[in-house]
Amino acid sequence: MSLPTEADGTVAPSTDGATAPAPPAAPAPAGDSASVRGLIFLRDRGIFVLWGLLIVLFAIWCNPFFFQLNNAILIANAASLSAIFAAGVAVGIICGALDLSIPGVAALSSCVTGYMIMTMGLPVWLSLLVGLLLGAFIGFLNGIISLRGFNPIIVTIGMLSITSAAAAIIAGGYTIPGLNVLDFMGTQRYFGIPAPVYIVAGLFIVLTVFLTKTRDGIRLMAVGGNAEAVRRSGIHSDRYRVLAFIISSACAALGGLVTTAVVTEANPSASPGIIFTALTAVALAGVSLQGGRGSLPRVLVGALILATISNGLTIKGVQPFWATGVTGVLLLGSLFLERWISISVSNRLMTSAQASVHTGTR
Amino acid sequence: MSGKDDVVDVTDNGIPALQLQGIDMHYGYVRALDAIDFHVAQGEVVGLLGDNGAGKSTLLKVMSGAHRPTGGTIRVHGEEKHFHAPSDATHAGIQMVYQDLALVDALDIATNLNIGREILRKGIFGVLGFVDHKAQRKRSEGELDKLGVRTAAMTRPVEMLSGGQRQVVALARSATRVTGDRNGVLLLDEPTAALGYEQTQQVQALIQRMRDQGIAIVLVTHNFPLATAVCDRIAVLNRGRKVADIATKDTDYDQIVGWVTGARPSMFADA
pLDDT tens-digit profile of A104-143? Answer: 999 999 999 989 988 888 888 898 999 999 999 999 999 9
Neighbouring residues of A271: CB distance < 8 A, sequence distance ≥ 6: A103
The answer to whether A213 contacts B131, with C-beta atoms less than 8 Å apart, is: yes
pLDDT by residue (tens digit) across A59-93?
Answer: 988 888 888 888 889 899 889 999 999 999 999 99
Residues A348, A351, A354, CA angle at the centre, nearest 5°?
145
Model-level ipTM above the cut of 0.95: no
B103 → chain A, closest CA residue: A229
Residue A82 distance to chain B (closest CA, Å): 26
* CA–CA distances in Å: residue B215 to residues B4, B41, B60, B233, B237: 10, 8, 17, 15, 23
Q: Are strands B45-50 and B233-238 parallel, antiparallel or unpaired?
A: parallel
B-chain CB neighbours of A216 within 8 Å are 129
Residue B217 distance to chain A (closest CA, Å): 18
**Domain boundaries, position A51:** 43-319
For residues B156, B158, B159, B165, the Cα torsion angle rounded to the nearest 10 degrees is: 100
pLDDT by residue (tens digit) across A11-37?
Answer: 333 333 333 333 333 333 445 567 777
In angstroms and rounded to an integer, the radius of gyration of the C-alpha atoms of chain B is: 19
* For residue A7, pLDDT beyond 70: no
Please report whether residue A30 resides in a domain: no
A-chain CB neighbours of B152 within 8 Å are 29-30
Cβ contact A291:A95 at 8 Å: yes
* For residue B58, pLDDT beyond 90: no
B168 → chain A, closest CA residue: A362
pLDDT by residue (tens digit) across A206-264?
Answer: 999 999 889 889 999 998 888 888 877 778 888 899 999 999 999 999 999 999 998 88
Cβ contact B162:B152 at 8 Å: no
Q: CA–CA separation, B94 vs B186, rounded Å?
A: 6
pLDDT band at B180 (very low <50, low <70, confident <90, very high): low
Where exactly are the structural domains of chain B?
43-67+85-106+157-261
* For residue B171, pLDDT beyond 60: yes
Neighbouring residues of B225: CB distance < 8 A, sequence distance ≥ 6: none
Length of chain A equals 362
Q: What proportion of chain B, given as a percentage, has pLDDT over 70?
A: 90
Give the DSSP per-residue string, A242-254.
HHHHHHHHHHHHH
Q: CA–CA separation, A137 vs A249, rounded Å?
A: 8
Phi, psi at A193, each rounded to 5°: -110, 130
Exposure b/e, A325-342, CB count within 10 A at least 16 = b: ebbeebbeebeebeebbe
3 state SS for A50-76:
HHHHHHHHHHHHCCCCCCCHHHHHHHH
Amino acid at A6: E
Residue A288 distance to chain B (closest CA, Å): 10
Question: CATH second-level architecture of B43-67+85-106+157-261?
Answer: 3-Layer(aba) Sandwich (3.40)
The answer to whether B160 contacts A345, with C-beta atoms less than 8 Å apart, is: yes
Instruction: Tell me what pLDDT residue A353 has.
Output: 52
From the candidates A44, A211, A233, which should be mutated to test the interface with B, based on the most B CB atoms within 10 A? A233
If DSSP codes are grouped into helix, strand and coil, which group holds residue A176? Answer: strand
- Write the residue in A32, A213, A353 that is nearest to B165 by C-beta: A353
Beta bridge partners of B9: none
B-chain CB neighbours of A349 within 8 Å are 160-162
User: What is the helix (H) or strand (E) element at residue A355, kind and residue range?
Assistant: helix A320-358
Beta bridge partners of B95: B186
Residue B244 distance to chain A (closest CA, Å): 31
Q: Are strands B94-97 and B185-189 parallel, antiparallel or unpaired?
A: parallel
B-chain CB neighbours of A38 within 8 Å are none
A237 → chain B, closest CA residue: B116
In angstroms and rounded to an integer, the radius of gyration of the C-alpha atoms of chain A is: 23
* CA–CA distances in Å: residue B20 to residues B35, B38, B53: 10, 5, 20
A32 → chain B, closest CA residue: B153
- Write the residue in A29, A228, A235 that is nearest to B152 by C-beta: A29
B-chain CB neighbours of A350 within 8 Å are 162
CA nearest neighbour of B235 among B246, B226, B227? B246
Q: How many domains are there within chain A?
A: 1
If DSSP codes are grouped into helix, strand and coil, which group holds residue A266? Answer: strand
3 state SS for chain B:
CHHHHHHHHHHHHCCCCEEEEEEEEEECCEEEEEEEEEEECCCCEEEEEECCCCCHHHHHHHHHCCCCCCEEEEEECCEEECCCCHHHHHHCCEEEECCCCCCCCCCEHHHHHHCCCCCECCCHHHHCCEECHHHHHHHHHHHHHHHCCCCCCCCCEHHHCCHHHHHHHHHHHHHHHHECCCECEEEEECCCCCCCHHHHHHHHHHHHHHHHCCCEEEEECCCHHHHHHHCCEEEEEECCEEEEEEEHHHCCHHHHHHHHHCCCCCCCCCC
* CA–CA distances in Å: residue B237 to residues A166, A235, B48, B254: 62, 33, 7, 16
Beta bridge partners of B120: B131
Q: CA–CA separation, B217 vs B18, rounded Å?
A: 10
Q: What is the CATH number of the domain that holds A90?
A: 1.10.3470.10
Which residues of A sit within 8 Å Cβ distance of B?
A: 28-32, 213-216, 218-219, 221-222, 225-226, 228-230, 232-235, 288, 292-293, 345-346, 349-350, 353-354, 357-358, 362
The answer to whether B198 contacts A353, with C-beta atoms less than 8 Å apart, is: no
B-chain CB neighbours of A93 within 8 Å are none
The answer to whether B202 contacts A233, with C-beta atoms less than 8 Å apart, is: no
pLDDT by residue (tens digit) across A254-313?
Answer: 999 999 998 888 888 888 888 888 888 998 888 877 878 888 999 999 999 989 988 888
The answer to whether A232 contacts B86, with C-beta atoms less than 8 Å apart, is: yes
pLDDT band at B160 (very low <50, low <70, confident <90, very high): confident
pTM assigned to the model: 0.78
B-chain CB neighbours of A29 within 8 Å are 150-154
Mean predicted lDDT score pLDDT of chain A: 82
Instruction: Tell me what pLDDT residue A17 has.
Output: 36
